[in-house]
Chains A and B, each alone.
Chain A
């Protein structure tokens, strides 16, 4: 923080801090409201005025998790997100490491082409892919969702990992080669451990995007392979909406992402900006 030279600057910090707190509140108030409602009984939630202080209850969470649908969906989502992130990191590393290390013809074209895949709206690809999955008998399976989530996350992962592998000093590899390690040994024993914080953050971001994804999952899943985002839509009914339960379900879906983001905080901006801002 800057050392204030004048009283006016000091005063300025106070005003800026106050404005910043108000702005922050505007962004988190709905989230706070969701989380607090999740801990309320129906009476507390619908008393007609907003209660920020109340005796919390876990009833809503118990009821939401007691119904098998969301519980299964949480397990499905966990499988889809973890497996697709790991596969995306492996495939992307295969592309990103040579892109980061070697100069060869077509290197930039490959990187640009991969980035351009990020532009295509998912609705454009989903209809042919849905028909394809139906033809090969994969629709309704978790595998089909995993495949599409790997596809969705690969461009991001390639671009980020390229940057993280570039950050590993080249001398490391020379040392590895002198020690008689082959390329694979150099990568797995020396480069990967050194790039690990960045690689782990990339994996966490892939996890977040896969966990939050809705369109692919909704088109390809059936009752048994619903992910959390798809399962949440069952709560959208025109009548008889039980908001306390819905907010509990919403909170359960949001918490893993908040934790993942917290763990990846150091590289979050770099990741979200595809490596453009470090």
Chain B
């Protein structure tokens, strides 16, 4: 059905590869046939949970209580907005996202500036820098626990060797969240670095030439010539980092498990606890919706610009 409508309206614009008019009809049908398995699959697996959790979020349903689910209106949402643990997780998540992405961007930009004019062995160094980002977050979590371990951990050994006291980074209420941010920065700065480096290497020749002249004009060249041209790659890189850091869960699971005293209880972590430990499915569903709203709020304008550009 759709095929015939499109057929009658678009033929001027479309240039079918063959140019044989008699073949157009099956080709139009073919493209929808080709797209349908993937689109149906995506629709099924994305619409189902979305609608399901929306409905469930307006019910009262706890798997562990054995009671049947019943309609509860906006109770879950009201409870959430007065729940100290909810607001704590919002704060933890926002602090984590803001500082990790900001620091990653700053470091990656500096690193890319260092590399983009070419260095002896730069390809090799670049390949090495990629390694943290390729490790599974679960592996990074294990590695972080080992590195930060008080007695044998490499970090504490190095700190002792320069006279600093042994520190329990992950067990300290004030240090746990900054430590998680540092772990994220260590793992994901390479990601933004790769994107920015590739973008800088693709800058127009005259901009690169101008940057080679050393002197006081350097910061000005970066600010006035680099940044405007790099706006799109920065936008995409930051967007992808935002999306991924809002969902942070794996490294929390492997290192702090939300502690000490909820200092690192991110929203994803808290939702997992509510849903899979307390089995309060409806509360977790409402919680999920608020997380989704927060993420959408944060990335909405960026993603619009990305789609518009492509």
Q: Which residues of A contact B (CB under 8 A)?
A: 1-2, 6, 8-9, 12-13, 16-17, 19-21, 23-24, 27-31, 33-34, 37, 45-46, 48-50, 91-95, 97-99, 101-105, 108, 110-112, 114-125, 127-129, 131-132, 147-148, 150-151, 154-155, 158, 170, 173-174, 176-178, 183-184, 186, 208, 211-212, 214-215, 219, 228-229, 232-233, 235-236, 243, 246-247, 250, 253-254, 257-258, 261-262, 265, 268-269, 272-278
Report if B70 contacts A (CB, 8 A): no
Report if B264 contacts A (CB, 8 A): no
Q: Which of B19, B38, B276 has the most CB of A within 10 A?
A: B38
Q: Which segment, of B27-35, B98-106, B173-181, faces chain A?
A: B27-35
Q: How far is the CA of A209 from the CA of B138 in the complex (A)?
A: 12
* Chain B interface bracket (under 10, 10 to 19, 20 to 34, 35 or more): 35 or more
Q: Which residues of B contact A (CB under 8 A)?
A: 6, 9-10, 13-14, 17-20, 23, 26-27, 30-32, 34-39, 41-42, 45-46, 48-50, 52-53, 56, 111, 114-115, 117-122, 125, 127-132, 134-139, 142-147, 149, 152, 154, 157-158, 186, 189-191, 194-195, 197-199, 202, 212, 214, 232-233, 236-237, 240, 243, 246-247, 249-250, 253-254, 267-268, 271-272, 275-276, 281, 284-285, 288-289, 291-292, 295-296, 299, 303, 306-307, 309-310
A30-B214 in contact (CB<8A): no
Assuming the contacts A119-B303, A214-B138, A246-B142, asked whether A98 and B10 have C-beta atoms less than 8 A apart, the reply is no
A91-B37 in contact (CB<8A): yes
B38-A92 in contact (CB<8A): yes
A151-B18 in contact (CB<8A): no
Q: How far is the CA of A95 from the CA of B272 in the complex (A)?
A: 33
Q: How far is the CA of A232 from the CA of B27 in the complex (A)?
A: 49
A13-B119 in contact (CB<8A): yes
A27-B190 in contact (CB<8A): yes
A50-B157 in contact (CB<8A): yes
Assuming the contacts A9-B214, A27-B190, A121-B268, asked whether A214 and B31 have C-beta atoms less than 8 A apart, the reply is no
B114-A19 in contact (CB<8A): yes
A212-B137 in contact (CB<8A): yes
Contact of B20 among A19, A170, A177 (CB under 8 A): A177
A120-B34 in contact (CB<8A): no
Q: Which residue from chain B places its CB closest to the CB of A49 in the assembled complex?
A: B157
Q: Which residue from chain B places its CB closest to the CB of A265 in the assembled complex?
A: B127
Assuming the contacts A103-B10, A272-B191, A276-B310, asked whether A115 and B303 have C-beta atoms less than 8 A apart, the reply is yes
Assuming the contacts A34-B146, A127-B288, A257-B135, asked whether A151 and B130 have C-beta atoms less than 8 A apart, the reply is no
Q: How many A-B residue pairs have CB under 8 A?
A: 303
Contacts of A31 in B (CB 8 A): 131-132, 135, 143
Q: Which residue from chain A places its CB closest to the CB of B135 in the assembled complex?
A: A254
Q: Which residue from chain A places its CB closest to the CB of B51 in the assembled complex?
A: A128
A214-B137 in contact (CB<8A): yes
Q: A251: shortest Cβ distance to chain B, in Å? A: 9
7 A-B pairs with CB atoms under 8 Å apart are A19-B114, A118-B243, A120-B46, A123-B291, A151-B41, A174-B19, A273-B237
B214-A12 in contact (CB<8A): yes
A214-B253 in contact (CB<8A): yes
A122-B139 in contact (CB<8A): no
Q: How far is the CA of A123 from the CA of B288 in the complex (A)?
A: 7
Contacts of A246 in B (CB 8 A): 142, 146
Contact of B236 among A91, A120, A274 (CB under 8 A): A274
Given A50-B158, A123-B288, A177-B19, 19 other A-B contacts at CB below 8 A?
A8-B214, A20-B111, A20-B125, A23-B111, A27-B132, A31-B131, A50-B157, A94-B34, A98-B34, A103-B14, A111-B307, A119-B296, A123-B268, A127-B276, A128-B52, A211-B136, A212-B135, A273-B236, A276-B236
Assuming the contacts A174-B19, A214-B253, A254-B136, asked whether A277 and B147 have C-beta atoms less than 8 A apart, the reply is no
Q: Which residue from chain B places its CB closest to the CB of A98 in the assembled complex?
A: B31
A27-B128 in contact (CB<8A): yes
Q: How far is the CA of A125 from the CA of B296 in the complex (A)?
A: 15
